Structure 1
Amino acid sequence: MTFNPLEQRGIALDKQLRNWRELNVSPIDPDHADPYTRCRVITMNGIEVEALLFSHQLARHCPDMDAKRKLAEIRYLEQQQQKAVNWLLPGVSSALETTIAYEQVAVDLTAWVARMEPDPYLKQAYEFGVLEDFDHLYRYSNLYEMVQHRKAEKIVDGLTEVIPGRPTKYHHRHPHDNVREPYDRTSADPISKLHALTIMSAEQQTMNFYMNVGPEYMEPIARQLYQEIGLIEEEHVTHYESLVDPGETWWERLVNHEYNECYLYYSFMETESDRRIKAIWELHLNMELEHLHGACDLLRQHDGREPEEVLAPQLPQPVTFEPNKGYLRQLLDTQIDLTTLGTGYVREAHERFERMQEQIHGGEAPPSERVIDMHREQFGTDYRLSTEGEHPVQSLREQQLEGSRRL
């Protein structure tokens, strides 16, 4: 069954305002909720935050008072959506537990997008980034057992493996090598635009989250690990945001944002296992349909274009959270030693990369390495969650990375 948001009407804007009782959502149960329900919550929070930040930036560059008022009206309603979504996360979960869930989102959402992406260059961008998020999940999981004496398998529930990816210490690159070539807005597949916006939004939310929660820890190694990975998230946001064509007008980008929100709420409504949360996705979809129509009106007024010139005639297949273990292991076997040079990828360390490594590490082991060493000292081994037994190729890759000048 096809679904075209442009042909659907939702809840009228003047009927969307919710009172405190309606916004007072009950959080998910951290012990019994589907881990992918939590992933969908985290994803939609990132999508809503990006929509809000974009709307504020547009308003600051828009001289038209009527347009600013329309943006403010929709933005306030989306602020309510963001509060309802983010407040679904349970307060009893620690920041580190939420962090592990953030990295599970980064791994399985990015892996799914990479699998579905039709453009080879964009696909490579997602495959490159997901191996780094995969390693972040491993580093934080080791920290979690050290600090809270619990295992990450309780959070990821075996849906996502916890084994080393591309070592985090090699993620530090010169900023020039984090900028990619953008897609061409005139010829790119509509799903490619949605993919880029989705992953950029998710990584931006992760970056912001680490920026704020990192210094709240007392343990020095925790503070240092958040600081290191927080800097890498800056690189990831640069990596993904540069994929978006800067030639898109403000109004074109606005309708892309609203269309993407419709797409993801529809996707999660279709795939959600929790009936109560499914109802929230459905409600927000019906709100977003009218936000989209409002954005389309602004596109017609300011760009003189119809939304059909910009948007896909129907939503693509739903975004699905699902295990990607085999796909990730294939990437580990074939791409773990990649780094970037300019807008491309290489396997050998180059001068600019090595200079950055020397400057950032200063000849010392970074927090991402020390956390594993400390875990081994405390428990005798590092923490890993493998659902398919030992992975000999991965072990070989680790040895290659540690014993040579290759990445």
Structure 2
Amino acid sequence: MAFNPLEHRGIPLDDQLRDWAELDVAPVDPDDADPYTKCRIITMNGIEVEAIMFSHHMARVCPDLAVKQQLARVRYIEAQQQKVVNWLLPGQASVLETTLSYEQVAVDLTGWVARQEPDPYLKQAYEFGLLEDFDHLYRYANLYEMIEHRKAEKIVDQLTEVMPGRPGHLQHRDPMDNVREPYDRTAAAPLSKLHALTIMSAEQQTMNFYMNVGPMYMEPIARRLYQEIGLVEEEHVTHYESLVDPGETWWERLVNHEYNECYLYYSFMQTETDPRIKGIWELHLNMELEHLRLACDLMRRHDGRDPESVLAPALPEPVTFEPNKRLVRDLLATQIDYTTLGTGYVQDMHERFERMQQRINAARPPQELVIDEHRDKFGDEYRLATDGPHPVESLRDKPAG
């Protein structure tokens, strides 16, 4: 029977506060942990960061003192959850190793969502961004070998391939062409709303991560690569956040956030291979059930609507981290030359796109330079292909300009 979080009471909020010993979780082993366990950790960190920041933004526009106080109480618990989740990442892993895991999340989470998404327009949005994150994994993998002298298969295993996606210099668009049409909150499937919130949160955390860790490197090519890809991630956040219907009320958005957290913790509890980490997902699910109940009460009181009118009657099938090699290869063969025009997609370069290209790529982009430097040092670029050669070798890493 499908799990309906609205029918379950979680841990009372007064019992959710943890002391320092409980927050001091042991990280996963960077050498022995399942790559997808690290992906689940990174995903839930992004989800918790979004929950915290959304609550802050809501509090800043809320005039009701009692509501602000309740938001603060729940938000503090969300902040503890975020600390536990993010602190599961191993300290001995380098920033670049964590970066490779971030991009593995971007490829295989977005790939899974694209395969499940019922709305063709939203599905296209996920497929479009996927080819750029796939390319970022390739660029960082080459940087990893250059400055740490290790290969990316150490991190991604054989689960995710490493090869060029949409060429890096083509990922820069006029900002107005990064804005998509939103779903209709009155007609969209509940699953579509969860997908949009999940991918927006994950990409937002990637953007935040790169904008903060990029200048910590001494190597010029690393600093430059994080700077460029960080700008592309800003484009992605604009792309994904615009899919969410701005007509949703603050109360509706709050309920959607809490329901999505229940969905993802439940999903990862079902699929986690590490028993200790599975226990954390289960604990946090039981906390989120109470957060959802409180959010639903606020919606009934202040929005005058029943949360059941906007939420799915039961959780969809669990979100699953799994290889998406066939999907990625199909997209490489059919959509690698796509760009955007207004809120749609085109295969032909247009005046606004070309103008942006000329301005920002007047100097050779770092995404191209990292491959140049890798070839100079090793004789070729790094790749990890498990299912044969790249499906569009003729488009391989075209030079800019």
TM-score of the aligned structures, taking structure 2 as reference length? 0.99
Counterpart residue identity of residue 282, structure 1: E
1:173-188 matched pairs, under 5 angstroms: 173-188=173-188
Return the letter of the residue paired with 1:397: L
Q: Does 1:49 pair with 2:49?
A: yes
The C-alpha deviation readout for 1:65-93, integer Å capped at 9, x for no partner, is: 11001000000000000000000000001
Distance 2:87 2:396 in 1: 40
Where does residue 385 of structure 2 map in the other structure? 386
Partner Cα separation in structure 1 for residue 282 and residue 169 of structure 2? 42
Matched, 1:270 2:279: no
Task: Answer yes or no: is the 8 Å Cα contact 1:268–1:319 preserved in 2.
Answer: yes
Amino acid in the other structure paired with 2:183: Y
Match of 1:398 in 2: 396
Contact persistence 1:333–1:397 (CA under 8 A)? no
Structure 2 residue matching 1:18: 3-state secondary structure: coil
Letter in structure 1 aligned against 2:373: M
Runs ≥4 residues deviating over 3 A = none
| Structure 2 counterpart of 1:97 | 97
Q: Map of 1:313-332 to 2, 5 A cutoff? A: 313-332=313-332
User: Number of residues paired by the alignment?
Assistant: 401
Deviations 1:250-292 (A, max 9, x none): 0000000000000000000000000000000000000000000
Q: Is the 8 A contact 1:214 1:223 kept in 2?
A: yes
Distance 2:399 2:203 in 1: 28
Cα distance in 1, alignment partners of residues 304 and 121 from structure 2: 32
Alignment deviations for residues 155-214 of structure 1 (CA, whole Å, 9 cap, x no partner)? 000100000000111100000000000000000000000000000000000000000000
> Structure 2: how far apart are the matches of 1:45 and 1:167?
29
Q: Is the 8 A contact 2:368 2:399 kept in 1?
A: no
Q: For residue 143 of structure 2, what is the aligned residue in structure 1?
A: 143
* Secondary structure of the corresponding residue to residue 384 of structure 1: coil
Give structure 2 stretches of 5+ with no counterpart: none
Q: What is the CA-CA distance between 1:390 and the residue it aligns to?
A: 1.7
How do residues 200-279 of structure 1 correspond to structure 2 at under 5 angstroms?
200-279=200-279
- Amino acid of the structure 1 residue aligned with 2:347: R
1:114-160 CA deviation, whole Å, 9 max, x = no partner?
00000000000000000000000000000000010000000000100
Mapped to 1, the partners of 2:103 and 2:194 lie a distance apart of 20
Report the Cα offset of residue 396 of structure 1.
Answer: 2.3
* 1:45-69 Cα distance to aligned partner (Å, 9 max, x none): 0000000000000000000011001
TM superposition score normalised by structure 1: 0.97
Q: Does residue 369 in structure 1 map to residue 368 in structure 2?
A: yes
> Is 1:125 the equivalent of 2:118?
no
Give the C-alpha shift of residue 402 in structure 1: 5.5
Preserved contact between residue 145 and residue 152 of structure 2 (Cα < 8 Å): yes
Partners of 1:152 and 1:74 in 2: how far apart? 39
Query: What corresponds to 2:169 in structure 1?
Result: 169
How far off is 1:398 after superposition? 2.7
Quote the sequence identity (%): 75
**1-structure distance, mates of 2:321, 2:46:** 16
For 2:36 and 2:396, the matched residues in 1 are separated by 29
Report the 3-state secondary structure (helix = DSSP H, G, I; strand = E; otherwise coil) of the residue aligned with 2:396. Answer: helix
Residue 289 of structure 2 is matched in structure 1 by 289
Secondary structure of the residue that 1:188 maps to in structure 2?
A: coil
1:359 equivalent in structure 2: 359
